[in-house]
């Protein structure tokens, strides 16, 4: 039981039809719900911390919580920085004991993205830490966007090959139609599987990463709305599309929005049904249980990763 990199877990996932869930963590109940699910499902696990999570919880806390989770469950866990936007935050996380960092240079021109990624790879590798980079821009829900405009944002397969060769990065996040948050598609969900297959064929040894992969579970959106929420029009990636993507090199699937929805739905329900209750443990406990059930469902039914340890 230890903090581990993604090297071994990705090597196994790359030659199999399953992917590893990378779940965003912000507090103790979220960490506990996720690790308990991974333990029951006997699945490899990545816990990831965004810059926002690091700021919210303060840098030391989430590292210590993940260390406590390892001690408590006996699991090996990868602690990953999600969307590090510059060298400084990547370096800080390497120095803090993270075993994996993402350097997200996707907003920069190609050559600048390469230069930034190389700088992070050099520092991280010297410290035994692996690096994920991103090429292409995740789609947003935008009105009247043409097919050409959409595919201009998606990852170019030839560029992906050049990017991986020149940076020495360990895994690559690609853009094929997903986006962050609860509103991913206005019309029919669409992922560019042909592009994914082309990228995988050109860089078959590189584990690919799918960001924006929440399926936005109806159950939680409906429960939020039933108890006074207002999240109309939410639409995630269909489960079968995520399962399909795991066959073509997608080894890491990022999930945050579904955790937020599961937690908030349960807290909303509890507080509406128990208006005179004010002990936080009374609503954070059921919220933690809801996260655990949801993560078990993801690992088992969407990522196909149960019993892969
Ligand atoms: O990709 C974004 C993740 O959902 C993290 O979101 O920056 O609000 O923590 P955050
Ligand atoms: P979702 O918003 O679909 O959960 O994506 C999370 C993510 O990509 C974190 O990096
Ligand atoms: Zn992301």
User: Which atom of ligand 1 is nearest to 180's Cα?
Assistant: 1
Task: Pick the residue whose CA is nearest to atom 7 on ligand 1.
Answer: 52
Say if residue 300's pLDDT is above 80: yes
Instruction: Return the ligand number nearest the Cα of 53.
Output: 1
Burial class of 165 by CB neighbour count within 10 A (0 to 12, 13 to 18, 19+)? exposed
pLDDT of residue 143: 54
Q: Report the residue among 21, 23, 24 best suited for mutation to probe ligand 1: largest number of ligand atoms under 8 A from its CB.
A: 24
Q: Which CATH architecture has domain 7-302?
A: Alpha-Beta Barrel (3.20)
Q: What's the predicted TM-score (pTM) here? A: 0.98
Summary mean pLDDT of the chain: 96
8 A C-beta contact, residue 250 and residue 203: no
pLDDT of residue 50: 98
CA distances, 85 to each of 82, 91, 113, 117, 173 (Å): 9, 11, 10, 10, 14
Contacts of 166 (CB under 8 A, 6+ apart): 114, 118
The per-residue pLDDT for range 134-162, each reduced to its tens digit, is 999 987 766 566 777 777 899 999 999 99
The per-residue pLDDT for range 236-267, each reduced to its tens digit, is 999 999 999 999 999 999 999 999 999 999 99
Share of the chain above pLDDT 70, in %: 98
Say if residue 103's pLDDT is above 90: yes
């Amino acid at each position: 039981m230890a903090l581990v990199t993604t090297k071994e877990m990705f090597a196994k996932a790359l030659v199999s039809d399953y992917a590893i869930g990378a779940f965003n963590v912000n507090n103790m109940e979220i960490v506990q719900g996720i690790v308990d699910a991974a333990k029951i499902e006997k699945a490899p696990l990545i816990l990831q911390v965004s810059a926002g999570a690091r700021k919210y919880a303060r840098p030391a806390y989430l590292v210590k919580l993940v260390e406590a989770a390892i001690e408590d469950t006996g699991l090996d866990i990868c602690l990953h920085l999600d969307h590090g936007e510059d060298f400084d935050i990547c370096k800080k996380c390497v120095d803090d004991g993270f075993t994996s960092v993402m350097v997200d240079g996707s907003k920069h021109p190609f050559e600048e993205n390469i230069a930034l990624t190389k700088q992070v790879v050099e520092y991280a590798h010297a410290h035994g830490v692996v690096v994920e980079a991103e090429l292409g821009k995740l789609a947003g829900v935008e009105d009247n966007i043409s097919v050409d405009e959409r595919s201009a944002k998606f990852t170019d397969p030839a560029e992906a090959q050049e990017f991986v060769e020149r940076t020495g990065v360990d895994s690559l996040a690609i853009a094929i139609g997903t986006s962050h948050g609860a509103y991913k598609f206005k019309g029919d969900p669409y992922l560019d599987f042909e592009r994914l297959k082309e990228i995988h064929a050109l860089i078959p040894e590189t584990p690919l990463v799918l960001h924006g992969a929440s399926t936005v579970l109806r159950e939680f959106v409906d429960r939020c709305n039933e108890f006074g929420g207002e999240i109309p029009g939410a639409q995630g990636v269909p489960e079968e599309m995520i399962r399909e993507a795991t066959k073509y090199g997608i080894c890491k699937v990022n999930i945050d929005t579904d955790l937020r929805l599961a937690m908030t739905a349960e807290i909303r329900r509890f507080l509406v049904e128990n208006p005179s209750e004010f002990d936080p443990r009374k609503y954070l406990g059921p919220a933690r249980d809801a996260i655990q059930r949801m993560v078990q469902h993801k690992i088992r039914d969407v990522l196909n990763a149960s019993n892969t340890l």
